[in-house]
Amino acid sequence: MSRASEDSNLRMLRARDAMDRGYAEPLDVPALARLAHVSEAHFIRTFKATFGETPHRYLQRRRVERAMTLLRSSDRSVTDICMDVGFASLGTFSRVFTEIVGEPPSVYRRRGPLAPVPSCFGMRWLRPSGETALSEKPGDAARP
């Protein structure tokens, strides 16, 4: 791996780590691009090339992962969880959750509490795959 490629990967990791820490905050692509020391357009392209999804979709998936845990480990309302993980709209949260997980938040919650397993195993087992998520563009999912 070339030095330039290593440097680019480290910059993208720095931005992704910031997203992991601040998943409940609004996505600020300009700030993330500054953190990675690249332009906004270059950041979005390089992030997708490095991690296989856009920064926006990555953040949505991280928020849904957190919501999955909260839905099955607490009795808080779906609306409260939606807001706590960083979604501004219950409708958007429900749509994105259903796209990523394959079922609405209320149906997912009915599965009951999470089994007592080591958290690292549980997180890996429950993590939605970026490959199973639908396309971000409306209409793309219908294409062969």
For residue 80, give the 3-state DSSP assignment. helix
- Single pTM value for the model: 0.75
Neighbours of 63 (CB within 10 A): 23
Binning pLDDT at 50, 70 and 90, where does residue 141 land? Answer: very low
DSSP 115: P
Which of 57-66, 75-84, 109-118, 134-143 bottoms out in mean pLDDT, i.e. has the lowest?
134-143
- Mean confidence (pLDDT) of the chain: 85
CB 114 within 8 A of CB 72: yes
* Domain boundaries along the sequence of the chain: 3-52, 57-142
Number of helices (H), then strands (E), belonging to the chain: the values are 8, 0
pLDDT in tens, 79-133: 999 999 999 999 999 999 999 999 999 999 998 876 776 767 666 666 676 654 4
Pick the residue with more confidence: 80 or 28?
Answer: 80
Query: What is the length of the chain?
Result: 144
Selecting from 3.20.20.370, 2.40.30.10, 1.10.10.10, 1.10.10.60, what CATH number does the domain 57-142 have? 1.10.10.60
